[in-house]
Amino acid sequence: MPGDKSISHRALILGTLAVGETRIEGLLEGEDVLATAECMRRLGARVNRLDDGSWRVWGVGVGGLREPAEPLDFGNSGTGARLVMGLVAGHPITATFVGDASLSRRPMGRVINPLTEMGAYFHARDGGKLPLTLTGARPALPISYTSPVASAQVKSAILLAGLNAPGKTTVIEATPTRDHTERMLRAFGAEIEAKEGPGGLVEIRLTGQPELSPCPITVPGDPSSAAFPVVAALLTPGSEIVVKGITLNPHRAGLYTTLIEMGADIEVMNQRDEGGEPVADLRVRSSRLKGVDVPPARAASMIDEYPVLAIAAAFAEGETRMLGIHELRVKESDRIAATASGLRANGIKVHESEDGMVVEGRGGDVAGGGRIATHMDHRIAMSFLIMGLAAQKPITVDDASMIATSFPDFIGLMRGLGASFAGQAQ
Ligand code: S3P
């Protein structure tokens, strides 16, 4: 599996804040992460890929960022843009953030608000959209912030700004989100603690202005990318695959829990700890699935996997209810709308609400034959290509180019498993 996208961004960013050389193995070489690598160079780090495929970052230390001469271009990546806003907000420099049409539609107010409280100044388009110019605080103020959205990007932006603030920065989350930033900060020597409070609240507290020391990083496989071959194997009769070395961090594993509840034959093997993240291999065999109610409390741990879950749900027996997922409306596309209209184009009934969707499964009998508008969204493209594998007629997506943002070898890997693609797929 390709390297985990979330961990890859963070490895480059923390490598930039450490003093000295950070070695990274297994970095995801997707467009999103390559955009972050280029931005780290513009902020003063030396970032190189070696011939053996590993990467090196020579960091400048907390407080040592250079003001970039050119805009920072994050392409399609909300994670890159929002995390680096946090990074820049803690430094007395000015930088302009730009992205593609999809990223320029996404809300940035969720990071602008707390980072403004920390002393940063933003000049953004109406409604807090890219392109925007950010002048960092001098110095950043440590704050205590209760995030109104369940978002690891917001949490991480505040923690990254808090790294250069004198004192303790606290983020309080009502729903816990992926904790890769916290794990990696700890590995680089920062003082950071997470405490569970009443009602499941999590309080994360970081002590500012640490000296971060480089720590070698091995990026595990991405469970969000693995979701595509896993669902493909479940839906395609006679399949059996083994997916190796993906992180099953509890804040990322919600899809796998849900698929097992649906009756999926998924065996979790060789559970181990690699570089501070829980990692495992999965053996997956094609299965008859049944519809389930996905608990809204699970949403954060599978937030990127709902489109492909909806594909599995279309082939299941009975209804699958996915609620409490309003955040999907502000991802690379409005994923509730894009998924629902794609399913309908392939003969599936879907009931869409403001914060969710209910898919009426057809117990394997899926017509297919539809043409999908992907809206510059890699996960919509991959989800419907997977649907095409098991549907009666092939499914067409209008644009496969965005797949390279997170899973550059998706077509090659799926071909290796027996899938056939026609058209402009490489
Ligand atoms: C990510 C967090 C999630 C997720 C995104 C990656 C991260 O976004 O959808 O693909 O690496 O922190 P939110 O934190 O905004 O939910």
Pocket test for ligand 1, best of 149, 151, 179, 377 (most atoms within 8 A of CB): 151
Q: What is the pTM of this model?
A: 0.98
Residue 101 domain-assigned? Answer: yes
CA of 420 to the centre of ligand 1 (A): 31
Using the 3D structure, point to which of 178, 206, 234 is the last residue of a domain: 206
The yes-or-no verdict on residue 387 having pLDDT over 60 is: yes
CA of 151 to the centre of ligand 1 (A): 6
> 140 and 264: one domain?
no
Q: Whose CA is nearest to atom 11 of ligand 1?
A: 6
The number of domains in the chain is: 2
**Under 8 Å between Cβ of 335 and 379:** yes
Residue 314 domain-assigned? Answer: yes
Tell me what pLDDT residue 152 has. Answer: 98
Residue 108 domain-assigned? Answer: yes
Tell me what pLDDT residue 425 has. Answer: 55
Give the nearest ligand 1 atom to 303 CA. Answer: 9
Residue 30 domain-assigned? Answer: yes
> 201 and 241: one domain?
no
> 27 and 147: one domain?
yes
CA of 272 to the centre of ligand 1 (A): 24
> 237 and 120: one domain?
no
Does the active-site annotation cover 265?
A: no
Q: What are phi and psi of 20, to 5 degrees?
A: 110, -160
Q: Which of 32, 73, 304, 377 is catalytic?
A: 304
The yes-or-no verdict on residue 359 having pLDDT over 70 is: yes
The yes-or-no verdict on residue 142 having pLDDT over 90 is: yes
Q: What is the DSSP string of 175-235?
A: S----HHHHHHHHTT--EEEEE-GGG-EEEEEESS-------EEPPBPHHHHHHHHHHHHH
Which token pair is 269? Answer: 């093997």
Report, as an integer, the average pLDDT of 135-146.
96
- Domain interval for residue 21: 5-206
Residue 279 pairs with which residues in a beta bridge? 247, 272
> 376 and 402: one domain?
yes
**Under 8 Å between Cβ of 47 and 41:** yes
The yes-or-no verdict on residue 415 having pLDDT over 70 is: yes
Nearest to 147 by CA among 111, 168, 169, 173: 173
> 111 and 11: one domain?
yes
> 309 and 190: one domain?
no
Report, as an integer, the average pLDDT of 327-350.
98
Residue 212 domain-assigned? Answer: no
Pocket test for ligand 1, best of 277, 303, 305 (most atoms within 8 A of CB): 303
Residue 214 domain-assigned? Answer: no
Cα–Cα distance, 102 to 332 (Å, whole number): 6
Q: Whose CA is nearest to atom 16 of ligand 1?
A: 151
> 289 and 172: one domain?
no
Interval 22-61: pLDDT, tens: 999 999 999 999 999 999 999 999 999 999 999 999 999 9
Interval 170-216: pLDDT, tens: 999 999 999 999 999 999 999 999 999 888 899 999 999 999 999 99
The yes-or-no verdict on residue 226 having pLDDT over 90 is: yes
> 31 and 173: one domain?
yes
Mean pLDDT, the chain, rounded, equals: 97
The yes-or-no verdict on residue 229 having pLDDT over 90 is: yes
> 307 and 161: one domain?
no
Residue 426 domain-assigned? Answer: no
Report, as an integer, the average pLDDT of 247-276.
97
Q: Whose CA is nearest to atom 13 of ligand 1?
A: 151
- pLDDT tier for residue 424 given thresholds of 50, 70 and 90: low
**Under 8 Å between Cβ of 110 and 154:** yes
Give the nearest ligand 1 atom to 6 CA. Answer: 11
Residue partners of 53: CB distance under 8 A and separation at least 6: none
Give the nearest ligand 1 atom to 154 CA. Answer: 14
How far is C-alpha 223 from the chain's CA centre? 10
Using the 3D structure, point to which of 206, 239, 273 is the last residue of a domain: 206
> 19 and 164: one domain?
yes
CATH number at 293 reads 3.65.10.10
Tell me what pLDDT residue 112 has. Answer: 98
Tell me what pLDDT residue 127 has. Answer: 83
Interval 390-413: pLDDT, tens: 999 999 999 999 999 999 999 999
**For a pLDDT cut of 70, what percent of the chain falls above it?**
99
How far is C-alpha 138 from the chain's CA centre? 30
Using the 3D structure, point to which of 206, 233, 255 is the last residue of a domain: 206
Residue 150 domain-assigned? Answer: yes
- pLDDT tier for residue 87 given thresholds of 50, 70 and 90: very high
Give the nearest ligand 1 atom to 10 CA. Answer: 11
Pocket test for ligand 1, best of 178, 301, 305, 308 (most atoms within 8 A of CB): 178
Q: What is the DSSP string of 46-59?
A: EEEE-TTS-EEEEE
Q: Which residues line ligand 1 (CB under 6 A)?
A: 6, 79, 151-153, 156, 177-178, 303-304, 327
> 274 and 389: one domain?
yes
CA of 124 to the centre of ligand 1 (A): 21
**Under 8 Å between Cβ of 276 and 187:** yes
Give the nearest ligand 1 atom to 152 CA. Answer: 14
**Under 8 Å between Cβ of 320 and 307:** no
Q: Whose CA is nearest to atom 5 of ligand 1?
A: 79
